[in-house]
């Protein structure tokens, strides 16, 4: 039996809006005896890099022999992607069994989609008796539904402008909200490298008597080679030792995420046995081990099709710089682009402009998506030409793929429909 009708009801709870606060999620967890207290948690916040950082930590711990729960968002193709144990997605039967009573409990208190999903993940991990759960915040940190956990370690990745209507309109305010995941006497690792934000994190850690480590204070990660299959090799200097790693992720931003992950290992090693080979194997097989997709990923070889789920200007700028560093020439890409209307779409298009041969704009099938007509106007304002409007993501992918190397980006929802198109193409071959 399909669980789609149930998921439709769950997704409909999105229309309750984003409601920062912990009262409703606490009420839900009261009803299921607070499952998040039954296993250790690593809690990860930040603007960019949260998903990759969570996946790297999970991959290393899995290779060390531990049973690992991984909770990330949003998903690309299937809701099930959000909740994984040992890289395997939660199955439909468990979603149905867990979601129904939680949705019933959430309705009287105005609970949201993300709160129900978070409670579901926390309960599932308890049932599966995980040795550790790696939990990614939704947005923010202080009032995010995931902030009910009592972690053994907190990690904060890079900070940038996003969700400013909830988090504030300066980097300092946004960083302060993310710093809300720092807990009393609990170690925290900071991946962001900007000096102007350092005091924000130091202040928050001091208030909680939390040991704080800035990753770039204790180690340095340098990229040796970025390859056209979008993997890379890095060298790491720490404690006067030089080590080399192969990583199946790519980009300077991933070097920063790797630094945060490696800086977290001393704290994790107080609880878990993690040797050097576990780290090497974990970083080399992040995608395979955890199911991480859509992060500057080569998804098709002939023709070349690259996909990325970045949905803010900083993420798109990182995408472009990574492709350049991998040896792809500028102005050479057929770019398939769509975005949500509440994002800084013009900023993303400005970042894409130097790499764009033709821009194929499309609107994913979602009410929040920006209409094609508005995308065309913004692209023209960014001096991008030619701009080709399409009636669907699939049509845009089909035309772009026939014209040359293709880059698909702008939104998780664009990635979803593009992957569906790619699967259809594969089925036809």
Average pLDDT, the chain: 93
pLDDT confidence bin for 197, thresholds 50/70/90: very high
CATH architecture of 4-290: 3-Layer(aba) Sandwich (3.40)
Return the domain boundaries, the chain: 4-290, 297-428
Q: What is the pLDDT of residues 292-312, one digit of tens each?
A: 999 999 998 878 999 999 888
Task: Output the pLDDT for position 427.
Answer: 61
pLDDT confidence bin for 239, thresholds 50/70/90: confident
| Per-residue three-class SS string for the chain | CCCHHHHHHHHHHHHHCCCCCCHHHHHHHHCCCCHHHHCCEEEEECCECHHHHHHHHHHHHHHCCCCEEEECCCCCCCHHHHEEECCEECCHHHHHHHHHHHHHHHHHHCCCHHHHHHHHHHHHHHHCCCCEEEEECCCCCCCCHHHHCCCCEEEECECCCCCHHHHCCCHHHHHHHHHHHCCCCCCEEECCCCHHHHHHHHHHHHHCCCCEEEHHHHEEEEEEEECCCCCEEEEEEECCEEEEEEECCCCHHHHHHHHHHHHHHHHHCCCCCCCHHHHHHHHHCHHHHHCCCCCCEEEECCCCEEECCCCCHHHHHHHHHHHHHCCCCCCCEEEEECCECCCCHHHHHHHHHHHEEEEEECCCCCCCECCHHHHHHHHHHCCCCCEEECCCHHHHHHHHHHHCCEEEECCHHHHHHHHHHHHHHHHHC
Is 15 a residue whose pLDDT tops 60?
no
Task: Output the pLDDT for position 17.
Answer: 53
Q: What is the pLDDT of residues 63-99, one digit of tens each?
A: 999 999 999 998 999 999 999 999 999 999 999 999 9
User: Where does 297-428 sit in CATH, by number?
Assistant: 3.90.190.20
Q: What is the pLDDT of residues 155-181, one digit of tens each?
A: 999 888 765 555 666 889 999 999 999
């Amino acid at each position: 039996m399909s669980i789609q009708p149930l998921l439709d009801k769950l997704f409909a709870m999105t229309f309750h809006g984003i409601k920062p606060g912990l009262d409703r999620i606490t009420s839900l967890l009261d009803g299921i005896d607070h499952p998040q207290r039954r296993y250790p948690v690593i809690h990860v916040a930040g603007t960019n890099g949260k998903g990759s950082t969570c996946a790297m930590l999970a991959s290393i711990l899995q290779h060390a022999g531990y049973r690992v729960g991984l909770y990330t968002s949003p998903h690309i193709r299937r809701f099930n992607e959000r909740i994984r144990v040992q890289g395997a997605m939660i199955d439909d039967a468990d979603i149905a069994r867990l979601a129904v009573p939680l949705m019933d409990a959430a309705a009287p208190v105005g609970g949201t989609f993300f709160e129900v999903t978070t409670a579901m993940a926390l309960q599932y991990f308890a049932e599966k008796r995980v040795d550790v759960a790696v939990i990614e915040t939704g947005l923010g940190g202080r009032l995010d539904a995931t902030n009910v956990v009592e972690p053994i370690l907190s990690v904060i990745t890079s900070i940038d402008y996003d969700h400013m209507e909830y988090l504030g309109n300066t980097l300092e305010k946004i960083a302060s909200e993310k710093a809300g995941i720092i807990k009393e006497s609990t170690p925290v690792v900071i991946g962001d490298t900007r000096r102007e934000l350092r005091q924000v994190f130091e202040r928050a850690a001091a208030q909680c008597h939390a040991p704080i480590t800035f990753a770039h204070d204790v180690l340095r990660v340098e990229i040796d080679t970025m390859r056209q299959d979008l993997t890379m090799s890095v060298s790491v200097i720490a404690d006067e030792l030089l080590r080399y790693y192969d990583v199946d992720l790519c980009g300077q931003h991933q070097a920063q995420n790797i630094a945060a992950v490696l800086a977290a290992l001393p704290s994790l090693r107080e609880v878990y046995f993690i040797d050097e080979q576990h780290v090497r194997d974990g970083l080399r097989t992040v995608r395979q081990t955890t199911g991480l997709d859509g992060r500057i990923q080569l998804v098709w070889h002939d023709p070349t099709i690259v996909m990325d789920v970045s949905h803010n200007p900083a993420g798109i700028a990182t995408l472009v710089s990574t492709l350049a560093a991998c040896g792809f020439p500028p102005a050479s890409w057929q770019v398939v682009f769509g975005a949500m209307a509440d994002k800084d779409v013009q900023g993303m298009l400005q970042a894409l402009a130097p790499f764009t041969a033709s821009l194929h704009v499309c609107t994913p099938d979602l009410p929040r998506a920006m209409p094609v007509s508005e995308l065309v106007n913004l692209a023209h304002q960014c001096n991008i030409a030619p701009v080709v409007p399409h009636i669907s993501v699939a049509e845009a992918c089909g035309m772009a793929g026939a014209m040359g190397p293709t880059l698909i980006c702008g939104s998780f929802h664009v990635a979803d429909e593009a992957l569906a198109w790619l699967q259809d193409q594969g089925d036809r071959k």
